[in-house]
């Protein structure tokens, strides 16, 4: 447990120093928890919805932060400080690493405890890892190995900054591309971990073939995804061992075909 907390703190420090605006915004959020202080995010959410709809219509991924945002710290009604986080690495580091909670992956592991025992040295493959926040948790907590893949370059750059000691291998590639998947997908791994990724890629050509490759390469597939997308349609003919819905998210354990 001490090893896990030490690694987690070091990863936060590495990211905050590598992306100082993101680190400063995270620090302001912590101060905002003090009575009298208030941390606010100032964003045009209607504009964000329009941007996401436009990306979807163009067949592009919307799984990353799509618009810059401004954060501010107030003392009662007095604004003390204001920061602008630009779209790309800075916003991605703040939104998807420093402020992303781990409650969902912890709940998933609790639900699957009768089947899943992650052991030291096991290999976990994450085909849509983003900044690697959840993958780092699994690697650090269980002292196992990991491979993370994501098509969004800024997210992989953040993950690499947090990857002190290079205990996880990261690739900036698309798993939908058959040539890329051949390069990064191991012939066998213990677990495949998928969190909020399937609904961003299911519409692309080659999706079903990619899912079949993933299932054939692992013992178990751990899945978290929005309830807006039926799991049976996202992963056809899956042998589902655990399935529960909590707070509009599906949590599932699927038996691999390795």
Confidence of residue 165 (pLDDT cuts 50, 70, 90): confident
E strands, 207-257, in order: 218-226, 240-246, 249-255
Task: Say whether pLDDT at 193 is over 90.
Answer: yes
What is the pLDDT, as a whole number, of residue 55? 58
Q: Say if CB 169 and CB 102 are below 8 A apart.
A: no
118 and 73 within one domain: no
67 and 174 within one domain: no
Look at 33-37, 48-52, 85-89 and tell me which has the smallest mean pLDDT.
48-52
We report the CATH number of the domain holding residue 151 as 3.40.50.150
Structure tokens given for 93: 């580091």
242 and 118 within one domain: yes
164 and 54 within one domain: no
Q: Which element (helix H / strand E) includes 110?
A: helix 103-111
Place of tokens 């204001």: 82
Pairing between β-strand 249-255 and β-strand 218-226 as defined by DSSP bridges: antiparallel
What is the pLDDT, as a whole number, of residue 49? 54
- Domain interval for residue 60: 2-98
End of a domain among 63, 82, 98?
98
pTM of the model: 0.90
Helix (H, G, I), strand (E, B) or coil at 176: coil
End of a domain among 63, 98, 133?
98
Helix (H, G, I), strand (E, B) or coil at 45: helix
Average pLDDT over residues 34-56: 72
205 and 110 within one domain: yes
Average pLDDT over residues 158-171: 93
107 and 92 within one domain: no
- Check residues 61 and 140 and name the one with the higher pLDDT: 140
Task: Say whether pLDDT at 45 is over 60.
Answer: no
Identify the bridge partners of residue 69 per DSSP, sorted by sequence position. Answer: 85
225 and 116 within one domain: yes
109 and 93 within one domain: no
What is the pLDDT, as a whole number, of residue 50? 58
Q: How many domains does the chain have?
A: 2
111 and 91 within one domain: no
Mean pLDDT over each residue of the chain, to the nearest integer: 91
184 and 141 within one domain: yes
21 and 109 within one domain: no
Calculate the CA dihedral of residues 185, 188, 192, 198 and round it to 10 degrees.
40
What is the pLDDT, as a whole number, of residue 245? 96
């Amino acid at each position: 447990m001490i090893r896990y907390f030490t690694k987690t703190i070091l990863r936060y420090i590495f990211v905050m120093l590598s992306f100082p605006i993101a680190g400063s915004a995270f620090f302001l959020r912590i101060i905002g928890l003090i009575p009298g202080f208030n941390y606010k995010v100032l964003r045009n959410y209607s504009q964000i919805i329009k941007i996401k709809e436009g990306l979807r219509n163009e067949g592009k991924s919307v799984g990353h932060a799509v618009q810059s945002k401004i954060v501010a710290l107030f003392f009662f009604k007095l604004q003390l400080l204001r920061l602008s986080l630009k779209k790309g690495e800075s916003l991605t580091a703040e939104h998807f690493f420093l402020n992303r909670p781990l409650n969902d992956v912890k709940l998933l592991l609790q639900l699957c405890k009768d089947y899943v025992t992650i052991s030291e040295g096991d290999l976990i493959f994450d085909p849509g890892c983003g900044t690697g926040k959840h993958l780092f948790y699994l690697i650090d907590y269980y002292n196992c190995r990991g491979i993370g893949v994501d098509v969004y370059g800024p997210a992989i750059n953040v993950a690499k900054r947090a990857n002190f000691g290079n205990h996880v291998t990261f690739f900036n590639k698309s798993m939908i591309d058959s040539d890329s998947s051949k390069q990064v997908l191991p012939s066998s791994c213990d677990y495949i971990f998928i969190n909020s990724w399937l609904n961003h890629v299911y519409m692309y050509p080659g999706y079903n073939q990619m899912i079949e490759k993933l299932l054939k390469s692992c013992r178990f597939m751990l899945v978290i995804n929005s309830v807006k997308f039926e799991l049976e349609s996202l992963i056809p003919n899956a042998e589902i061992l655990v399935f529960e819905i909590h707070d509009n998210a599906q949590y599932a354990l699927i038996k691999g075909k390795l």
